[in-house]
Amino acid sequence: MKAFWAALPREGRWLLSTVAIQTLGRGLTLPFTLIYLHEVRGFDLGLAGTLMALVAVTGFLVTGPSGALTDKYGARAVLIVGIVSMVAGNLLLAYATTPAAAAVALVLIGLNFGVSWPAFNALIAAVVTGPLRQTYFGINFALVNLGIGVGGIVGGLWADVDRPGTFTAIFIGDAITGLVPLFLLLGPLRHVSGRAEASDDEVATPAVGYLAILREPTVRWLTALTFVATFIGYGQHEAGFPGYARAAAEVSTRTVGLSFAINTAVIVLLQFTVLSRITGRRRTRVIVVMAAIWAAAWALLGVGGLVPGGAIATSAVLGFMAVFALGETLLQPTVPAMTNDLATDRTRGRYNALTAAAFQGGAIAGPVAAGLLLHRGLGSTYIVIMVLGCVAIAAMARRLEWHVSDVANGVRTEPALTGEGRPA
Q: Give the residues across from 422 on adjacent strands.
A: 418
Residue 359 CA to residue 233 CA, distance in Å, equals 10
> Nearest 5°: phi and psi at 423?
-60, 145
Question: Which carries the bigger pLDDT value, residue 155 or residue 86?
Answer: 86
Q: What is the pLDDT of residues 1-60, one digit of tens each?
A: 677 888 888 888 888 888 888 888 888 887 778 778 888 898 887 788 788 888 888 988
Tell me, what's the pLDDT at 121?
86
Tell me, what's the pLDDT at 62?
92
Q: What is the pLDDT of residues 260-306, one digit of tens each?
A: 889 889 998 999 899 888 888 899 999 999 999 999 999 999 999 99
Work out the average pLDDT over 220-248: 88
Kindly tell me if the per-residue pLDDT of 414 is higher than 70: no
Tell me, what's the pLDDT at 241?
87
pLDDT band with cut points at 50, 70 and 90 for residue 328 = very high
Kind of pairing between the strands at 417-418 and 422-423 = antiparallel
Residue 238 CA to residue 249 CA, distance in Å, equals 16
Residue 66 CA to residue 194 CA, distance in Å, equals 13
Residue 162 CA to residue 405 CA, distance in Å, equals 57
Report in angstroms the alpha-carbon separations of 169 from 156, 165, 289.
13, 6, 43
Q: What is the pLDDT of residues 149-188, one digit of tens each?
A: 888 888 878 888 888 899 899 999 999 998 999 998 998 8
Please calculate the CA angle 308-313-319 and round it to the nearest 5 degrees: 155
For the packed helices 217-232 and 348-375, what is the interaxial angle rounded to 10 degrees? 40
Question: Which carries the bigger pLDDT value, residue 94 or residue 365?
Answer: 94
Task: Specify whether the CB–CB gap between 24 and 170 falls below 8 A.
Answer: no
pLDDT band with cut points at 50, 70 and 90 for residue 423 = very low
pTM of the full structure: 0.81
Residue 124 CA to residue 72 CA, distance in Å, equals 17
Q: What is the pLDDT of residues 343-362, one digit of tens each?
A: 888 888 899 999 989 988 88
User: How much is the CA Rg of the chain, to the nearest whole Å?
Assistant: 21
Residue 232 CA to residue 240 CA, distance in Å, equals 9
Work out the average pLDDT over 322-348: 90
Tell me, what's the pLDDT at 383?
95
Q: Which of 54, 48, 44, 46 is nearest to 34 (CA)?
A: 48
- Structural domains in the chain, sorted by start: 10-130+147-195 (1.20.1250.20), 210-424 (1.20.1250.20)
Kindly tell me if the per-residue pLDDT of 413 is higher than 60: no
Tell me, what's the pLDDT at 11?
87
Work out the average pLDDT over 125-152: 85
Task: Specify whether the CB–CB gap between 348 and 70 falls below 8 A.
Answer: yes
Tell me, what's the pLDDT at 300?
96
What is the three-class DSSP state of 1? coil
pLDDT averaged over every residue in the chain: 86
Question: Which carries the bigger pLDDT value, residue 418 or residue 413?
Answer: 413
Q: What is the largest CA-CA distance in the chain?
A: 69
Tell me, what's the pLDDT at 198?
53
Question: Which carries the bigger pLDDT value, residue 202 or residue 106?
Answer: 106
Distance of CA 115 to the CA centre of its chain: 13
Tell me, what's the pLDDT at 291?
97
What is the three-class DSSP state of 309? coil
pLDDT band with cut points at 50, 70 and 90 for residue 206 = low
Work out the average pLDDT over 393-420: 77
Tell me, what's the pLDDT at 197?
59
Task: Specify whether the CB–CB gap between 22 and 175 falls below 8 A.
Answer: no
Task: Specify whether the CB–CB gap between 60 and 364 falls below 8 A.
Answer: yes
